[in-house]
Amino acid sequence: MSAMNTLQAWLRQAAAERSLRPIDTELPSTLHKLEAEENPLCWLLCCLVSHQYGRGHSCLRIEELQHTPDFVLGFALPDDLKLWLEPKAIAAALQQSDWVQCMEKNTESVEKPLVYAAGRLYLARLWKAEQGVAEAIQTRIQMPIANDSEPPLAELLKRVFAESNDSSIDWQALACAMAAQRKFAIITGGPGTGKTTTVVRLLAILRQKYGDNLRILLAAPTGKAAARLTESISGAINRLPETMQKGIPTEVTTLHKMLGARPFRRSFKHSGENPLPADVVVVDEASMVDLEMMAALMNALPANTQLILLGDKDQLASVEAGSVLGDLCKGAEEGRYSTNTLAMLQPYTPHSLAAFGGSASYASESHASEGEEAPSMYNQATVMLRESHRFGADSGIGNLARAVNAGDIQRLRGGSESLFAAFADIELLSPSAKESGQANDFAALRKLVVQGYRAYLGQITESDTEMVARDQWAREVLTAHRSFQLLVALRKGPWGVQGLNDVVADWLESAGLITRAPGRTKSWYAGRPVMVQRNNYTLNLMNGDIGITLRDPETGKLRVVFEQADGRIKWVLPSRLSDVETVYALTVHKSQGSEFAHTVLVMPDEINPVLTRELVYTGITRASKRFTLVAAKPAVFAQAVQQRVIRSSGL
């Protein structure tokens, strides 16, 4: 069999086994129709780079592919194809292919569908996005900002950080000092470390510096995250000195809305040709922003606009390709500041910052440095907030999140040494030896879930409410619903969304909290909680919005109620909602940007590549008051905490 036939046979098999998506196997033949390519190795690399994109990687690292192909790809590549991955053969194939643009300098314009640069193979679109992000950041970091305002920056900082004591480094003040002197800055930190507080103080300083005409835009990746920021920003403004509160916006939009998303179009209304009318743009929950969205944002910013990203670098990366915030924040704990950056920050703290850097230079080219430890240009614009004001030393949730981040398995296990034994706001549930280990047989989980969801389901029968109070009733049900949420790691399987949604609905029905039509358990019924899976511009509902099905007291018919960003309640006919899913169980991915008073994270009974430290950390940090870990098998939880998300990128 010729090499091309071998490859074609494998592509068919991989598609049938679903190790590759149809788009991955079809990409090379589509390209071949446009530009003939006879080298089967190019076909193989082309479908592998597409496969990696589908798994969230911006590129395929060729050397890693040669050394550990199965690990890199997430499936076993047949041995005869592994033999093809010989360095010289790959280099020659890429050099000679009309599909591949081999980059000598990053400045060349891209005309081919694939790009090979610095040992990485990209789909051209992803390469352009990565370059766009890196260049926009570099230009902004190098853009000088005059530090000659009156009153001086130190004086302005004193005004907004009046309560600050000098016993340790005040990273919030330093974050403001950094962002007031750079056109690009990242403020990263765990939950409750004061990212919103800090950015509001920064905006107050910028207002004083540049006057009332400063145009500020605030955005977040999802409607839910935008609504949360709107709420916390108003609180933070109220805590500012009264004279500095004026003119700080409280309206937060979604990134899609800010950029002007258009139905069925990839491009946005705002771009290089039609930039955003803004002097300062703040983006919260930046860990959820994927590479292409970040590139679209950078592209839409006028050259002089200041960009500030807020987010928790330890959270799960975006659903789409890239892990932009995580990549940019590598080394943020150590600071890794150059001597210039240290000189810029040192005047604003009485404590020496020498331990946080001091190298003479940093890698200013985005692709120049492979060294993990080398300071990057991004480090020069990043400040990490280190103290949680919400989850202090006495908080189980805070301690648990920190132990997970540190991979401290000893303190995460059950037993007397465990954090679960030491704090009342966290607990660990596992099936007892008598139980079968199946979800539907797990009595403690059943009790917890029925109790938890009773908070809102106990209110859904109040349909005799006065008409005027109809929206108020819906709002109360929606608020009660946010008090408890079951989170899961996987979509499929008995411990995933699908399995648990069914089990939970059965439990709630047995408890008399919901009633489904006999034999039609999948249809609509009062109390069914749903999440919108796709932006719906006609209904103005965004991917991630959660609604509850209620019987409309006006008509007696079922309607789904949603709370909109402006606080208004929307009543929607169930038949108009095509892309929704029941969310008694919600994936951790989909829960990003949301917070629930009591969060229950259910870990499955088998290890899976999706189970990572970032996923566990994100699940825990969704809880504001109480957290329950449900571990069908505790060993799986321990293994997940040791497994890190690795996404290839050149940032």
Ligand X SMILES: Nc1ncnc2c1ncn2[C@@H]1O[C@H](COP(=O)(O)OP(=O)(O)OP(=O)(O)O)[C@@H](O)[C@H]1O
Taking the least distance from each CB to ligand X, the nearer of 164 and 510 is 164
**483 Cα distance to chain centroid:** 22
CB of 388 to ligand X, least distance (A): 8
CB of 348 to ligand X, least distance (A): 15
| Cis amide bond preceding 151, omega within 30 | yes
Residue of 389, 522, 557, 568 interacting with ligand X (CB under 6 A): 389
CA–CA separation, 177 vs 169, rounded Å?
A: 13
Residue 376 as a binder of ligand X (CB under 6 A): the answer is no
Residue 192 as a binder of ligand X (CB under 6 A): the answer is yes
Residue 287 as a binder of ligand X (CB under 6 A): the answer is no
Taking the least distance from each CB to ligand X, the nearer of 389 and 625 is 389
Taking the least distance from each CB to ligand X, the nearer of 197 and 430 is 197
Q: What one-character DSSP code corresponds to residue 65?
A: H
CB 92 within 8 A of CB 100: no
Per the document, the length of the chain is: 651
Compute how many residues bind ligand X; rule: CB under 6 A: 13
E-strand ranges in 491-632 read 529-532, 546-551, 558-563, 569-572, 580-582, 585-587, 596-603, 623-631
Among 46-54, 188-196, 273-281, 556-564, which window interacts with ligand X (CB under 6 A)?
Answer: 188-196
Residue of 28, 40, 194, 398 interacting with ligand X (CB under 6 A): 194
Which residues touch 264 (CB under 8 Å, ≥6 apart)? none
Taking the least distance from each CB to ligand X, the nearer of 113 and 194 is 194
Does 30 appear as a known binding residue? Answer: no
Residue 390 as a binder of ligand X (CB under 6 A): the answer is yes
Taking the least distance from each CB to ligand X, the nearer of 195 and 470 is 195
Residue 183 as a binder of ligand X (CB under 6 A): the answer is no
Residue of 58, 101, 131, 196 interacting with ligand X (CB under 6 A): 196
Residue 624 as a binder of ligand X (CB under 6 A): the answer is no
Residue 398 as a binder of ligand X (CB under 6 A): the answer is no
Residue 191 as a binder of ligand X (CB under 6 A): the answer is yes
CB of 203 to ligand X, least distance (A): 13
Taking the least distance from each CB to ligand X, the nearer of 176 and 600 is 176
CB 617 within 8 A of CB 592: no
CB count within 10 Å of CB 304 equals 10
Does 547 appear as a known binding residue? Answer: no
Residue 197 as a binder of ligand X (CB under 6 A): the answer is yes
Which residues touch 5 (CB under 8 Å, ≥6 apart)? none
Residue 618 as a binder of ligand X (CB under 6 A): the answer is no
CB of 229 to ligand X, least distance (A): 8
Does 54 appear as a known binding residue? Answer: no
* Surface-to-core class of residue 571, CB atoms within 10 Å of its CB (0-12 exposed, 13-18 middle, 19+ buried): middle
Among positions 230-259, residues that touch ligand X (CB under 6 A) are 232, 236
CB of 620 to ligand X, least distance (A): 12
CA–CA separation, 400 vs 418, rounded Å?
A: 10
Does 371 appear as a known binding residue? Answer: no
CB 93 within 8 A of CB 80: no
Among positions 433-452, residues that touch ligand X (CB under 6 A) are none
Nearest residue to 290 via CA among 23, 580, 503, 543: 543
CA–CA separation, 39 vs 97, rounded Å?
A: 8
Does 599 appear as a known binding residue? Answer: no
Q: What one-character DSSP code corresponds to residue 487?
A: E
Q: Which two tokens stand for residue 350?
A: 């009485």
Residue 608 as a binder of ligand X (CB under 6 A): the answer is no
CB 510 within 8 A of CB 521: no
String marking each residue 138-177 x if it binds ligand X according to CB under 6 A: ----------------------------------x-----
Taking the least distance from each CB to ligand X, the nearer of 203 and 636 is 203
Residue of 56, 189, 527, 650 interacting with ligand X (CB under 6 A): 189
CB of 174 to ligand X, least distance (A): 12
| 3-class DSSP string for 194-258 | CHHHHHHHHHHHHHHHHCCCCCEEEEECCHHHHHHHHHHHHHHHHCCCHHHCCCCCCCEEEHHHH
CA geometry: angle 296, 299, 304, nearest 5 deg: 140
Does 193 appear as a known binding residue? Answer: yes
Q: Which residues bind ligand X (CB under 6 A)?
A: 172, 189, 191-197, 232, 236, 389-390
Q: Binding site for ATP: which residues?
A: 189-196
Which residues make up each annotated binding site?
A: 189-196
